[in-house]
A and B are shown apart, each in its own frame.
Chain A
Amino acid sequence: MSSFWSNWIIVLTIFTLVAVTWILLANQTRNDNSAETTGHIYDGIEEYDNPLPAWWFWMFVITIVWGVGYLVFYPGMGSYQGVLGWSQHSEHDQAVAAAELKYQDIRESYLSRPVEEIAEDPAAHRMGQRLFGNHCAQCHGSDGRGSYGFPDLTDSDWIWGGEIRDIKHTLTNGRQAAMPAWQGVLGDQGVEEMTEYVLSLNKQTQNTPSLISSSEKFVMYCGGCHQLNGAGNQMIGAPNLTDDVWLYGGSKSEVAQTLRYGRTGMMPAQNTILSEAKLHILTAYVSSLHIEDKD
């Protein structure tokens, strides 16, 4: 951006300051008690042209001095930032730092207690709720029940494990899931048959003899991650295919698409953003979610 507008503001400001100072002083130095009139006549009433009362004059002087002082210390002269370096950003940062300091001790005190214990602490729960709202709700929903591609955190179906240390690990370091694309290996026919087979695993379709070849392929290609019976493996984030919980949809077309093109799931690591104490509180909050009533 050119400096034109900045200079324009500076010129305007200085001109205004000089002008008001001049007007003030020019009026004040007029000869006293001359009983001259301004020449204005209203209904026969004339107006004396007298100087300002002293206290008015000095109030104006103070405002001018104040104005100059303000422009030195605070931003106002175009893009000049002022001696104090004040800005809305720095004020926000200070407010955040002050809040951090204020709540630090409370958070640290939670850190020294086990997650199971603070999961039942109402104050910690509220704190966790706020953290969840700020950092997790965009994907998992503000109630934590997830949406398409983002797991429901209130059910007991955990992709990466539902133990306290698993949840904490997920929050702290994030998770990277990769379901490879099988189109090239299985072919169109193979994908369709495998879809039927996967759906049959949780009784959506009948396991007919026609699926025998698919079951062999499942053992060969899928069993490594999802286990031979399709129950999944929380160590590597391979979902359980035998329950009716689907991260990317459980309809035929959606399962087929997953098989054909693969999926990549990504939970970002929060340790770059959140302190250890915050992660601790958040772990407690997330682990408490599935205790709540589930319809």
Chain B
Amino acid sequence: MHDSHDIILKEVAPAEVGEVDLYQRREKIYTRKIEGFFQKIRLYTGWPLLLAYFGLPWLIWDSRQSVLFDLPARKFHIFGLTLWPQDFFLLALVLIIAAYGLFMVTAIVGRVWCGYTCPQTVWTAIYMYLEQLFEGSRNQRIKRDKAPWSIEKFYRKILKHGSWLFVAFLTAFTFIGYFYPIRELIVDLCYIRVSVWPAYWILFFTLATYINAGWMREQVCQYMCPYAQFQSVMFDHHTLIVSYNSLRGETRGPRKRTSKRVDSSLGDCVDCQLCVQVCPTGIDIRDGLQYQCTGCALCIDACNSVMNKMGYSPNLISYTSESALAGGVMHWFRPRIVGYLSVFILMVALFVYTLVNRTPLEMTVTRDRGDLFVRNTNGHIENIYTLHIMNMTNATYRYNLSVENLANAHLIGNREPEVRAGEDLHFSIRLKVPPDAAAPLNQMIFFNLEAQTDTELKTKVESRFIRPEL
């Protein structure tokens, strides 16, 4: 491992404090369009994900929406699986696993989430594409923004913002479609009769998408995203980063395309500024690793295109690691990664185990509070219970109800309740026992419920039986 480096302090005394702008203004970033290997990867990973996002709610599974988080009914349908509020910890577990997976991936390959799959990046890329489509290339945009208003400038801006808003609306509509039946929603939308809350949230997410991907862009990553701020703790010297090889590139400088490199005192960097112009966060990668860098690899593609033209070998800017840059070897299996990986596998195993062994049946038992006990005509003692049976499967079952740990118990009422799919059946039953002076006054008992056709589908609930002193 590397020794920790002391930070060398330099005395920097400002000559004079004049008019200081205390808060940095955002400089508008004009990104140049670039194509290349990593942009292809982005395209080929982005499309399936986008298709999945926009398409999933339209799929039908068992004659209902395949993925629907039905908040009013408190039921989450995910294909064949229906989760109830009782299963909420599963969701927590999924989120923990997802977060942990993100940490692990970050430790190994750096900010690939940020660079390729984060919705902020993906939607910003879509918006940049539309910007390019309606307002032209980087240079044209810079020029037009500086120019006074004209009819052309106006309609191009209208087209751009219109298309942005349209994409934002589609995004928001789809998002709400995960929480509200999307086929109903689109019909309601066509007849302009969407109820207040779906309409509010569609508007909210439309504006949020438009503002985030259109106006905020890299500022979200730099100032708002907590993950961007704390992911540096996952980094080590072997983590993949996008970096400029300054040993090879310096001394940078412009040159004729025909000039022979061996003749020159210059490094490989021709100082064309392309890597700066394509950067969506507006940084210069040649300044070293910076927290603004989302690892999108646009600069790699830009630089490689130039290196190609110059006839130089590629990867002056590349995915590499601090250790590789320093001439060392990249270690993939290092303690940190092994640690992350084993905990990750453990959590996934726990999740799968929990999911597979989840019993989609729940029963609650409530003793009547009106009377502690009832003594009937024959002197038998009775206790009354109200049962709630929740059938969380997608099929109707008939169950056998029985009582454990209560001698000579006779169960009066529905002993073979039938509960329909997704139903929460509630009914009352009565337990009757002959008088028994030796029995405890307050006895722990159990209600057993077992599906008649599936012995795996069963549950056991504790309750109490109370009797008078004889």
List A residues at the B interface (Cβ < 8 Å): 33, 35, 50, 53, 129, 133, 137-139, 141-148, 244-246, 249-251, 292, 295
Contacts of A292 in B (CB 8 A): 414
List B residues at the A interface (Cβ < 8 Å): 17, 19-20, 22-23, 368, 370-371, 374-375, 377, 379, 382, 384, 386, 410, 412-414, 426-430
Query: A295 with B377: in contact, given A141-B384, A141-B428, A143-B430 (CB under 8 Å)?
Result: no
Partner of A143, one of B17, B379, B384: B384
**Quick check: B412 and A295 within 8 Å, CB to CB?**
yes
Find the residue from B19, B22, B429 having the highest chain A CB count within 10 A.
Answer: B22
**Quick check: B413 and A143 within 8 Å, CB to CB?**
yes
Partner of A145, one of B19, B23, B427, B430: B430
Apart from the given pairs A142-B368, A143-B428, A246-B377, 7 other A-B contacts in the complex at a CB distance below 8 Å: A141-B374, A143-B427, A143-B430, A144-B428, A145-B374, A145-B384, A245-B377
Partner of B410, one of A139, A245, A295: A295
Closest to A132 in B: B428
**Quick check: A148 and B374 within 8 Å, CB to CB?**
yes
**Quick check: B379 and A251 within 8 Å, CB to CB?**
yes
**Quick check: B427 and A129 within 8 Å, CB to CB?**
yes
Query: A142 with B384: in contact, given A129-B426, A148-B375, A244-B377 (CB under 8 Å)?
Result: yes
The CA-CA distance from A35 to B430 in the complex, in Å, is 80
**Quick check: A139 and B20 within 8 Å, CB to CB?**
no
Partner of A33, one of B19, B386, B413: B19
Contacts of B428 in A (CB 8 A): 137, 141-144
Contacts of B17 in A (CB 8 A): 33, 35
Query: A53 with B23: in contact, given A139-B370, A145-B430 (CB under 8 Å)?
Result: yes
Contacts of A147 in B (CB 8 A): 370-371, 374, 382
Find the residue from A50, A245, A246, A295 having the highest chain B CB count within 10 A.
Answer: A295
Partner of A250, one of B368, B374, B377, B426: B377
Contacts of A145 in B (CB 8 A): 374, 382, 384, 412, 430
Closest to B370 in A: A138
Contacts of B374 in A (CB 8 A): 141, 145-148
Contacts of B410 in A (CB 8 A): 295
Contacts of B426 in A (CB 8 A): 129
> A-B pairs with the 7 shortest C-beta distances?
A143-B428, A147-B374, A142-B428, A138-B370, A35-B17, A250-B377, A141-B384
Q: Distance in Å from the Cβ of B375 to the closest Cβ of chain A?
A: 6
The CA-CA distance from A82 to B134 in the complex, in Å, is 54
Contacts of A133 in B (CB 8 A): 386
Contacts of A35 in B (CB 8 A): 17, 20
21 contacts between A and B (CB under 8 A): A33-B20, A35-B17, A53-B23, A129-B426, A137-B368, A137-B428, A138-B370, A141-B371, A141-B384, A142-B368, A142-B428, A143-B428, A143-B429, A143-B430, A145-B384, A145-B412, A146-B374, A147-B371, A244-B377, A251-B379, A295-B412
Contacts of B413 in A (CB 8 A): 143
The CA-CA distance from A50 to B382 in the complex, in Å, is 76
Contacts of A148 in B (CB 8 A): 371, 374-375
Closest to B371 in A: A147
Find the residue from B17, B23, B370, B410 having the highest chain A CB count within 10 A.
Answer: B370
The CA-CA distance from A244 to B430 in the complex, in Å, is 20
Q: Distance in Å from the Cβ of A263 to the closest Cβ of chain B?
A: 15
The CA-CA distance from A129 to B424 in the complex, in Å, is 14
Q: Distance in Å from the Cβ of A271 to the closest Cβ of chain B?
A: 22
Q: Distance in Å from the Cβ of A204 to the closest Cβ of chain B?
A: 11
Closest to A246 in B: B377
Q: Distance in Å from the Cβ of A290 to the closest Cβ of chain B?
A: 13
Q: Distance in Å from the Cβ of B364 to the closest Cβ of chain A?
A: 14
Q: Distance in Å from the Cβ of A155 to the closest Cβ of chain B?
A: 11
